[in-house]
């Protein structure tokens, strides 16, 4: 996090985990950020997206945060927030692009409602944090302003398949694999291209 200058450049006020890969990175990131900002509250919300591996690479929502302030008293206010979307890996950028575009629509709806109600509106900022960015051709894009200013990466990697500890069915076996792989400086296997 220090290497990415995340807190200096963005200072998130709301974390959004993309399930399921973003769950653990978001929780860990929250602890790090909270320690840097003096233990202030930092809420986490979750969105669920499923990518159909068809020719169209269609995405559908399995879970989404409520942003309907007009009809839902528990809706999340995006007004003035620095919203950081978190996922474990940016491979094709398809799900990240979809998440950003859908959140921008939600922001626009809340902005219009605020204007209707003569409420002050502070434009929210959107950012993205990924543990790993695969330096391969992407199928989708993120807005240029986000990419230039608020796209944060733990590490850039090539196209190998990444084996995360939280994906292991047997953590002891994974640890042995990691220890042996570290001796040869590898903790990845070739990508199957499905993410």
CATH of the domain at 64: 3.40.50.2020
**146 and 170 assigned to the same domain:** no
Q: What dihedral angle (degrees, nearest 10) is formed by the CA atoms of 53, 57, 63, 64? A: 160
- Residue 175's domain spans which residues? 160-195
Percent of residues, the chain, with pLDDT higher than 90: 68
Predicted TM-score (pTM) of this structure: 0.86
Under 8 Å CB-to-CB from 31, ≥6 apart: which residues? Answer: none
User: What is the distance between the alpha carbons of residues 107 and 101, in angstroms, rounded to a whole number?
Assistant: 10
Neighbours of 123 (CB within 10 A): 10
What is residue 189's predicted lDDT score, i.e. its pLDDT?
Answer: 40
Banded pLDDT at 190 (limits 50, 70, 90): very low
pLDDT at residue 35 tops 50 = yes
**151 and 172 assigned to the same domain:** no
For residues 2-17, give the mean pLDDT.
89
**What is the rounded average pLDDT for all residues in the chain?**
89
Query: What are 115-136's pLDDT values in tens digits?
Result: 999 999 999 999 999 999 999 9
């Amino acid at each position: 996090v220090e290497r990415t200058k995340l807190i200096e450049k963005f200072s998130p006020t709301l974390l959004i985990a993309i399930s399921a890969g973003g769950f653990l990175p978001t929780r860990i990131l929250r602890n790090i950020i909270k320690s840097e900002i003096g233990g202030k509250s930092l809420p986490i919300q979750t969105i669920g997206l499923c990518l159909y591996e068809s020719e169209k690479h269609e995405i559908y929502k399995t879970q989404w945060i409520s942003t309907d302030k007009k009809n839902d008293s528990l809706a999340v206010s995006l007004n003035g927030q620095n919203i950081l979307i978190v996922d474990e890996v940016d491979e094709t950028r398809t799900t990240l692009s979809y998440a950003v575009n859908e959140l921008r629509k939600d922001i626009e709806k809340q902005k219009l409602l605020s204007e209707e109600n003569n409420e002050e509106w502070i434009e929210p900022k959107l950012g993205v944090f990924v543990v790993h960015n695969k330096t391969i051709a992407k199928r989708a894009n993120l807005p240029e302003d986000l990419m230039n200013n608020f796209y944060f990466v733990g590490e850039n990697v090539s196209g190998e398949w990444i084996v995360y500890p939280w994906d292991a069915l047997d953590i002891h076996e994974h640890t042995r694999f990691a220890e042996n792989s570290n001796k040869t400086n590898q903790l990845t296997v070739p990508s199957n291209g499905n993410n």
